[in-house]
A and B are shown apart, each in its own frame.
Chain A
Amino acid sequence: MSLYYVQKLIYELNRNPDTTKRFEKDREALLADYDLTDEELTAIRKPDIGLLYVLGVNGQILMHYAALWKIPWDDYLKSMENGIKEHGPVRNGLYAQTEGK
């Protein structure tokens, strides 16, 4: 579990246009710069917003990743609900404290 690096990647994507460009043009090389598990990589590549939420990505970071993929707000909220149904309660981070939600 390398939640820190999943969040770091999304943080960089949100604030650094060069990182966003690399994400579009040379994604695998960019992802190799971060210490990510296979499950995290799958969730990022898909993107599986629900799984990223379950892995513990903070919503304040995750919403930017959804926006990067042009996922509409209602779909973003729904994908987190579906993520919990599919993958179980939130495993790590802030939301894991309260019933994994």
Chain B
Amino acid sequence: MTLVFAGACSHAPGITGRADRGDPQQRKNLLENYNKMRLAIKSSGAEALIVIAAEHFANFFMNNMPAYCIGMAEYYEGPIEDEEWLGIKRVKVPGNSKLSEEIIQIVMNDTDVSYAQEWKFDHGISVPLNFLTPDYDIDVIPVNINCQGPPLTPLNRAYEFGKSIRKACDSTTTKIAIVGTGGISHWPCTPDSGKINEDFDKTFLKSFISNDKKALLSYSDKETYEKAGQGGFEIRTWIAVAGACEGSTGELWCYEPIPNYAVGCTLASMEIS
């Protein structure tokens, strides 16, 4: 068993790009919890970090949109966004193509995942890495679930995808950490940017930390879009982490709704059993 850490966090570009526009107290709590996760990953002894993300048309487009993709490159670049706009310097991030291939081969038993030997990270991965691995000294394996628009992979498939990733992690000798990143409710880059549905978020988070599979998979895309906006589709990344940790429960570390960051800024972990 080599999964050594599992968690989830927010990745909104405002967290770094509009840093000074968040409430200072809320920001302080948010940064403390990113730091807590950084230390938790470090002390877990993780040799590689799988980031289950929901990218935003930086690499994948509607000409050939994979429902699931795993990176298989020696290195990645990011962020793709303007460095000043996002507040993060563009860097090369180390990958591990051999480990990726091992993982992809096992995941393929359950999921027709695509793979990519070229991948430019957008804020969806660059924001979490900025806080969790600021020295870019750990191999990263990016994973993408298309959460941007329909047709979208069903939630139960995202859960099963997480289970497959867990199977793959546990079959290697490398110590691996998993971090999912997305949502929860938000209306990014639209006139409703800044709206946050705290009730939706809290209900979802309750289901996540109790790893209540039935509740997590009960959302229809129509309901999610109406109550949690386009950004709500990204609950798939959290659900994949829940799948990877089936049978375990989690802990909510931080929930700070910050309208200027356009999301309820959240960090949570999941027990490994």
Contacts and interface: CB of A to CB of B under 8 A. Distances in A.
Interface of A: 4, 7-8, 11, 14-15, 53, 58-64, 67, 73, 76-77, 80-81, 84, 93-95, 97-98, 101
A60 B188 CA distance: 7
- Chain B contact residues, majority secondary structure: loop
A77 B230 CA distance: 16
Contacts of B58: 14-15
Contacts of B63: 8
8 contacts: A7-B61, A59-B193, A61-B57, A77-B191, A80-B191, A93-B149, A94-B149, A101-B191
Contacts of A76: 189
Contacts, number: 64
Given A53-B190, A60-B189, A77-B193, 6 more contacts: A8-B61, A15-B58, A15-B80, A15-B120, A61-B56, A98-B225
Contact of B230 (A11, A14, A15, A59): A59
A34 to B, nearest CB: 13
B80 A14 contact: yes
A64 B188 CA distance: 12
Contacts of B85: 67
Contact of B189 (A14, A15, A62): A62
B199 interface: no
A5 to B, nearest CB: 10
B226 A98 contact: yes
B18 interface: yes
A63 B189 contact: yes
Nearest to A68: B82
Interface of B: 17-18, 56-59, 61-63, 80-82, 85, 120, 148-150, 188-193, 225-226, 230
A101 B57 CA distance: 21
B59 A15 contact: yes
Contacts of B190: 53, 59, 80, 95, 101
Contacts of A11: 57, 61
Contacts of A4: 62
Which of A4, A58, A81 is the most central at the interface, judged by chain B CB atoms within 10 Å of its CB? A58
A48 to B, nearest CB: 15
B81 A59 contact: no
A98 B57 CA distance: 22
Contacts of B56: 60-61
B57 A60 contact: yes
Contacts of B80: 14-15
Contact of B191 (A7, A60, A84): A84
User: What 4 A-B pairs are tightest by C-beta distance, nearest first?
Assistant: A59-B189, A60-B56, A63-B189, A59-B190
A77 B187 CA distance: 12
A101 B1 CA distance: 47
A46 B18 CA distance: 26
Contacts of B61: 7-8, 11
